Amino acid sequence: MDPMTFSIIRHRLFRIVDEAVITLKHVSGSAITNEGHDLMVSLYRADGTLLMGGVGFLHHLTSAAEACKAIIRRFQGQIGEADVYLLNDPYTAALHTSDIYLVAPIHHEGRLVAWSACFVHVTDIGAMNPGGFAPQAVDIYSEGFSSPGLKLLDRGEMRQDVLDTILNMVRSPEMVSLDLRSMIACCNVARDRMSALLTKYTAPVVDEACAALVEQSETLFRARLRALPDGQWQSRQYLDVQGETARVVLTMTKTDDRLVFDFTGSDPQSRHSINCTKWAALGGLFAPLFPLLCYDITWNEGVIRPVTMIAPEGSIVNCTRPAPVSVATVGAIQSVNNAACTTIGKMLAASPEYRDQATAVWHANHFAIFKFGANQRGGYSIGILTETFAGAGGARSFADGVDIGGEIPNPISRMANVETVEGAFPIRYLFRRRAPDSGGPGRYRGGTGGEMAIVQHRAPAGGIDYVISGKGARHPMSEGLAGGYPGAPNSYVWVHADAEAAPGSADRLETIPGTPEPVSWGVYPLRGQDALYVRWNGGGGYGDPIARDPAAVAADVTSGVVSARAAAEIYGVALAPDGGADSAATVALRGAIRTARLAVPEAAE
Amino acid sequence: MTRFILPTVATDGTICTCAACGHALGPAPWKRGAIRRDLPLAVAGGAAYDTGHAGVFLCQFICPGCAVLLDTETAMAGDAALDDRLHLPAAAN
Amino acid sequence: MQKQDSPPLSYLVATDVGGTCTDTIVFGSDGGIHIGKALSTPPDFAHGVLASIQSAATPMGLTLDDLLARTHLFVHGSTVVDNAVLTRDGARTGLITTLGFEDTLHVTRGAYGRWAGLTEGQMKHPVKTDRAAPLVAREAVVGVAERVDCFGDVVTPLDEAAVTAAVRHLVQDKGVEAIAVSFLWSFLNPAHEARVREIIEQVAPGTYVTLSSDIAPVPGEYERGSTAVINAYAGRITRDYLTDLASQLSARGYAGATMVMQGYGGLLPAAEAADRAVGMIECGPAAGVIGAKFLGDLMGDADVIAADMGGTTFKVGVIQGGQLEYAREPMVDRFHYIAPKIEVVSIGAGGGSIVAVDPVTRLPSVGPRSAGARPGPVCYGQGGHEATLTDVMLLIGYMDPDQFLGGAITLDRAGAAAAVASQVAEPLGLDPTAAAIGIYRIACAQITDLIREITVERGLDPRDFVLHAFGGTCGMLAAAFGEELSVRRVIIPYTASVNCAFGLISADVAHEYTTTRTLGTATPAAEVNAIFAGMEARARAQLLAEGIEPHRQRMEWSVDLRYCRQVHEVTTQVHAAAPLDTAGLARLVDDFEALYERKFGKGSAYREAGIEMTAFRLTARGLMPRPKLPVEEEGPADPSAALMGRRPILDLTSGGMAVGQIYNFTLLRPGNEVPGPAVIHTPITTIALHTGHRARMDRWRNIVVTTDAPHIDA
């Protein structure tokens, strides 16, 4: 087709997704959508295959495609113009119940020509714990309302009885209503803009461009795969809940222009809600694949075709009904993100041509703390601690990871200001900063995670409560690359205040008076003078830590992100009195580390 | 022709070698020819890694020739080493 | 001010220092308009300012000293602050902040600072993204014990000994020349920050100090602290620059006042502007929007899209219902700051934008890389080898090789053709003309998409707007993308070439005040009035001190409101008379609800949760006399006196090259009408018209383009 028209239509499809995202954020007005960017909008072809994926939570791009297909199957012959469908059943296509998909057909001159789909994490879904993540859930039935597909708008008209039924099942019906309205507005914009495009260029021309776009992505992706070495790369993730450990094991095999992701060997599904369904696992591996391998290729069906997933049924990455899945997005799915990031990173690093595209794992473990309770202004507040989106960058073959730099599957998140949180919740931060020694050591250091502590502050009810779905406190999850260490793991500590001690201006965990108790899973109070301390994981490192530039290590010590102990023990860098690196002593330390490494008597296995 | 399994480990299709010093690690899987050192997390890297729970290790794979760190893994006791290898035509790398 | 010795003719001089050019516009008391232009001369911008004024004076038959001696007011905008930040040429700066939050500035609210300011293509490639190099080294951040809570109450008193130690450490060990101070909740209770200033003045007198509670007394510690840092970083450069400029002007005989443009589109006396470096960021583009608003007001158009396209960037501002739009999250380089600033969105698309075919996707693209002024487009013959949009414009007949810049250089058509052929046409398998036409269509489509997105973001429909086209490249595209956007008409103003300088002379003195407090809408009006009264007293005293008498003072009130539990705050003007009564407050809430729906769409409001006021704003204006633009009677429509000839030009309506009429702008008379396909050459740009377009010169010598056909394929 004419390359100019093709280029214009491609650009416009891109912008249509953009405009729909803007509309969604405008109408929603919630913090998780606006600050966390916990959302997604994409366009799909008439058969439900991905046409144009936007920048949002990327593990939704393929799952929403499956949602489109599920709606097509269920409503074949009854799909009307301006209908809007809702789907949030994880065993049909969704990731977990609180990430609701709205799927809307786009018609032109009476014919179904495309779909738009979007999601937000709704304020509540009626699960047994508030906010959507339900660590106490025992099965899908305790995780709130779930639909394998229903018609919410019939030819543009809201089905009020259906809406009322949904709102009747959730804790914060006004906010959920607004969440749904934001997605409807988003579908409307996508439909209007697509209509204008179709009118201007005619349906056959647009369809040809869409087909060409998918074709082009496939061609380019296959060519990239052919340029990478054939081989297999493995990774393993541990998910820790209440002392029970589940493994996600991945073997990625690349042959010519095809990629197979095989999760054989992963543990059976858990009784905890960290499991994910197969559509979620598929989404989970594509989330890093799009930005790592297809950064310059349009994200659509063409990228999906060369990829196969094998996920054993009944495993943690392909659980069977009624296993609970409400923590999936920060549980098994995130582990799939991490495992895929590692194997893709290894493959890219194995190619001298693509080595600079490789990265160690970024922010590997969300902690998803939802706080709720009466606020200082006479109302009731519920919301996520947006530090969970703050993340940490993995180290690269040419540079350190970005400190508190976000995550790969959701490239454009942000965290709220302390003042924003303290204005909305009756809490006070004692500190919030980069967490020392959290970035995975390496020749290039992983970006640091962060640490923070909060206490209740002038709370009318004496405090608040929070739901925490923080797995992984026992295992580092942000794997390193090429000899780099993983980022340090998460840590959650409830400091029980002693009788009279006040936290005052404690600025480290160690100086908060009281008795520490690790917490990670369930619902807890934050009352009196008690404090909640959270440290989140750093990114993985790249390369041997004793190959790191001593001056860079010394600078890290000066700015407080690496301890003198870690500098000496891991990096083999001795510090001079002026804070710089002591060259001679560093050479000696590094020599001693080499000697110790070689002192291990025999080869492995 | 030298190809890489990882930036730190090369192979000619038959024998894997340390990319830094050329030390032969043997046929695939290359980790069999490396020194494996399992550090309990508590001593692996300062206070930040010390979770207070035993049984989790930082495994280091080290070149016996030059002592460079070739790869790391987080592992629980008893878990097999990850097996990364190239699939080259007509070779048992 | 002395007025008795007024010369017979007096002048108002406005000079805008842009990235490339320094533009001057001189208005005589006789109504004459004179224009000057010179290259900008960073970092010694004052040099270019004098050269630009000189270049306006010479054709007037005056020396620089003559002109300045007869000048009663000098109005100025400059890119000096933007330049200091972009080139990292500011002071060595330290930061004192709340203990435990020392990383706030560097951590940039997580990933935000890593992706903010990047293109979507860059955001999709996170492995290659990093934060911008910070203005303050992490070692130059010191936390001190102190804490204020969300009610403004002190939780932990300020540790003054720690402050003294911090100042000594920063100044003596770290060698800082400027210190920013930013504490949590200081906008509610600035006492701790104020005390730190006193201590700095004792311990290290002469250090440049910026308090976050002074420069940006609003919530959001990351952005407020970043604002304080930027201000401290660029503060001294700004002050030195304005002082130096004043002394150079005075040495040339200028005795009047100097007013400096701010990013919010108002003027401040130079002495005040010197202490508010952040206020000057992007003040040139803001002036451009003010100029567009002035013209819009003059022509009766309340809704204007102001588009400026020069050599490297395409900039858009929106005026809606006569109101300016303010940026929500302004940035300089990639640093966030909070200061009222007119929203101007820009993309890398200009005449110098490189036209290429992506080697991976085989897709043709325009920009964002630019050939800049050097080496520039291939056709300039200055060594440029990469095909640019300007080269394309030459190939489709929109530029006259022999008449560029009044014939100053002859454009190399063969060189441009060869570059487009080898770099665009051949990779795509097209002939060079078809390739050039395609690139023109892509440029139009990209601009259309951008403007549509910007208007959608504000809940606006471009069909309600008039488009003003400024800059050297805009005229060649404006009629085409204006038609695709279905704007009401496209106007290429007479002053298009010096629009930012023109904006300077159409601005008022303006001070912005903000008080941050969260109040329910049931709050008694008296409480709201008390907040306003405090700000008004300060504002009136300030204006009076600047010599602006009460009859020239205007107070404009507005309030930020939001639905509880939603994040979008909407600044809503107070239309009711002050002081407010209950009805006035009710009207404010009604206006907010209407505005919210218009901005964010029907059904977007969460009324059930209630509405709250979060900030109270005052814009205090000192009205400046407006220049009177000369008006000429409109004559007959026949433009043939200005017809220079005919040549093949691109006519999008017919889809290819067609013979077009070529007109000379300087020979057109008001009332003349030019039908497309045609081009009108002005001294600085070309206006391209396609079949179905009609251009008319109005009585202010603006070119007004309308369409009679409803559809053009771009």
For the segment A341-351, what is each residue's pLDDT rounded down to a tens digit?
Answer: 999 999 999 99
pLDDT category, C713, cuts 50, 70, 90? very low
CA C515, CA A604: separation in Å to the nearest integer?
A: 67
Question: Which residues have a Cβ under 8 Å from the Cβ of C696 and sit 6 or more positions away?
Answer: C637, C671, C672, C673, C674, C703, C704, C706
Instruction: Give the pLDDT mean for C358-363.
Output: 80
Mean pLDDT for chain A overall: 94
CA C165/CA C564 separation, integer angstroms: 43
Tell me the pLDDT tens digit for each residue of C155-189.
999 999 999 999 999 999 999 999 999 999 999 99
Mapping DSSP to helix (H, G, I), strand (E, B) and coil, where does residue A52 land?
strand
Q: Which of residues 519-548 of A touch C (CB under 8 A)?
A: none
Q: Do chains A and B touch (3 or more CB pairs under 8 A)?
A: yes
Residues found in chain C: 714
Q: Is C143 on the interface with A (CB under 8 A)?
A: yes
Question: Based on the structure, what is the number of domains in chain C?
Answer: 4
First to last CA, chain B: 13
Percent of chain C having pLDDT more than 70? 97
Same domain flag for C124 and C208: yes
Q: Are B25 and B61 in contact (CB under 8 A)?
A: no
Contacts of B8 (CB under 8 A, 6+ apart): A482, A483, A543, A544, B18, B19, B20, B63, B68, B69, B70, B71
pLDDT in tens, C560-571: 999 887 778 889
Q: Is B77 on the interface with A (CB under 8 A)?
A: no
Domain ranges of chain B: 3-76
Nearest 5°: the CA angle A187, A193, A199 is 130
Q: Between the ranges A480-494, C369-383, C607-621, where is the mean pLDDT highest?
A: A480-494
One domain, residues C547 and C611: yes
Cβ–Cβ contact C544 with A under 8 A = no
Chain C neighbors of A297, CB-CB under 8 A? 360-361
* B10 at interface of A, judged by CB pairs closer than 8 A: no
B39 touches chain A (CB under 8 A): no
Contact between chains at C124 and A291 (C-beta distance less than 8 A): yes
CB contact under 8 A, C110 and A408: no
Taking only the tens place, the pLDDT of each residue in A336-390 is 999 999 999 999 999 999 999 999 999 999 988 999 999 988 888 888 899 999 9
The minimum CA-CA distance between A77 and chain C, rounded to whole Å, is 30
pTM of the model: 0.93
Residues of chain B with pLDDT under 50: 91-93
Asked if A79 and A105 touch (Cβ cutoff 8 Å), the reply is yes
> Which positions in chain A touch C604 (Cβ < 8 Å)?
26-27, 29, 178, 181-182, 185
- The answer to the question of residue C662 being in a domain is yes
- Predicted confidence at residue C382, as pLDDT, reads 86
Residue C143 resides in a domain: yes
Question: Do chain B and C touch: 3 or more Cβ pairs under 8 angstroms?
Answer: no
Q: Is C102 on the interface with A (CB under 8 A)?
A: yes
Whether A102 has a pLDDT exceeding 70, the answer reads yes
pLDDT at A563: 95
For A119, half-sphere exposure in the C-beta direction (CA atoms, 13 angstrom radius) is 29
Joined tokens for residue A448: 């640091």
Residue C115 and residue C127 share a domain: yes
**Residue contact A35–C568, C-beta within 8 A:** no
Residue indicated by tokens 């929106």: C318
Please list, residue by residue across C621-634, b when 16 or more beta carbons sit within 10 angstroms of its beta carbon and e when fewer do. Answer: bbebeebebeeeee
Lowest mean pLDDT among A100-109, A556-565, C34-43, C521-530: C34-43
Could you say which of C219, C365, C452 has the minimum Cβ distance to residue A419? C219
The DSSP-derived string for C672-703 is -EEESSEEEE-SS-EEEE-TTEEEEE-TTS-E
Looking up residue C41, the CATH number of its domain turns out to be 3.30.420.40
Interchain CB contact of B86 with A (< 8 Å): yes
pLDDT over 90, % of chain A: 82
CA–CA–CA angle A445, A448, A449 (5° rounding): 150
Q: Which residues pair with C180 in a beta bridge?
A: C95, C210
Q: Which chain A positions have a beta carbon within 8 Å of C94's beta carbon?
A: none
Residue of B nearest to A544 (CA): B69
- Dist. CA C41–CA C58, nearest whole Å: 20
Q: Does the pLDDT at position A589 exceed 70?
A: yes
Tokens of A487: 């980022």
Q: What is the structure's pLDDT at C709?
A: 53
Per residue in A276-304, pLDDT (tens digit) is 999 999 999 999 999 999 999 999 999 99
Quick check: is C102 in a domain? Answer: yes
For C671, the domain range is: 640-707
Tell me the chain A residues in contact with residue B8 when contact means C-beta distances shorter than 8 Å.
Answer: 482-483, 543-544
Q: What is the mean pLDDT of residues C235-263?
A: 94
Q: How high is the pLDDT of residue C603?
A: 67
Any domain includes C20: yes
> Residue A439's CB: how many other CB atoms inside 10 A?
38
pLDDT tens profile A1-56:
788 888 889 888 988 998 889 888 888 777 778 777 888 999 999 999 999 988 78
Distance between CA atoms of C23 and C495, rounded to whole angstroms?
Answer: 11
Determine the residue of chain A that is closest to B88 in CA distance. Answer: A230
Q: Which of A1, A5, A8, A533 to mutate to test the interface with C (most CBs of C within 10 A)?
A: A8
* pLDDT for residue C364 is more than 50: yes
- Show Cβ contacts of residue C564 under 8 Å, excluding neighbours closer than 6 positions: A379, C606, C609, C610, C611, C612
Are C595 and C662 members of one domain? no
| Cis-peptide, bond into residue C579, ω within 30° of zero | yes
Mean pLDDT for all residues in chain C: 91
| Contact list, C125 vs chain A (CB under 8 Å) | 291, 295-296
- pLDDT value for A5: 87
A365 CB neighbours in chain B (<8 A) are none
Mutate to test the interface with A, among C104, C106, C107 (most CBs of A within 10 A): C107
* C100 vs A contacts (CB less than 8 Å): 429-433, 505, 507
> Are the beta carbons of A8 and C445 separated by less than 8 Å?
yes
Residue C308 DSSP class: E
- Degrees, nearest 5: CA angle A91-A97-A99: 115
Whole-number pLDDT of residue A601:
61
pLDDT (tens digit, 9 = 90+) per residue, A187-239? 998 999 899 899 989 999 999 999 999 999 999 999 999 999 999 999 999 99
> Is residue A245 over pLDDT 60?
yes
Q: Is C72 in the same domain as C58?
A: yes
Does the pLDDT at position C675 exceed 80?
yes
Interchain CB contact of C169 with A (< 8 Å)? no
Q: Which residues of A touch B87 (CB under 8 A)?
A: 230-232, 253, 255
Q: Which of B69, B79, B86, B87 has the most A C-beta neighbours within 10 Å, making it the best mutation to test the interface with A?
A: B69
Residue pair A375/A254 in contact by the 8 Å Cβ criterion: no
Of the listed ranges A67-76, C194-203, C358-367, C517-526, the one predicted with least confidence: C358-367
CATH number at residue C173: 3.40.50
Query: Which of residues 200 through 229 in chain A touch C, CB cutoff 8 A?
Result: 200, 216, 220
Say if the Cβ atoms of A175 and C565 lie within 8 Å: yes
Contact A230 B86 (CB under 8 A): yes
Whether A431 and C99 lie within 8 Å, measured CB to CB: yes
* Contact status, residue A470 vs residue A492, Cβ threshold 8 Å: yes
Q: Has residue A504 got a pLDDT over 90?
A: no
> Is the pLDDT score of C703 beyond 60?
yes
The DSSP call for residue C642 is G
Q: Select from A355, A593, A604 the Cβ nearest to the Cβ of B35.
A: A604
Looking at the domain assignment, is residue C478 inside a domain?
Answer: no
For residue C431, being part of any structural domain is answered with: no
- Domain end call among C234, C266, C295: C234
Residue B90, pLDDT score: 59
pLDDT higher than threshold 50 for residue A98 = yes
pLDDT of A605 > 50? The answer is no
Q: Which chains touch A (3 or more CB pairs under 8 A)?
A: B, C
Strand ranges for A129-176 from DSSP E: 150-154, 157-158
Q: Cβ B4–A352 below 8 Å, yes or no?
A: yes
Could you give the CA distance from residue C46 to residue C41 in angstroms, rounded to a whole number?
A: 8
Within 8 A of A233 by CB-CB distance, chain B residues are 84
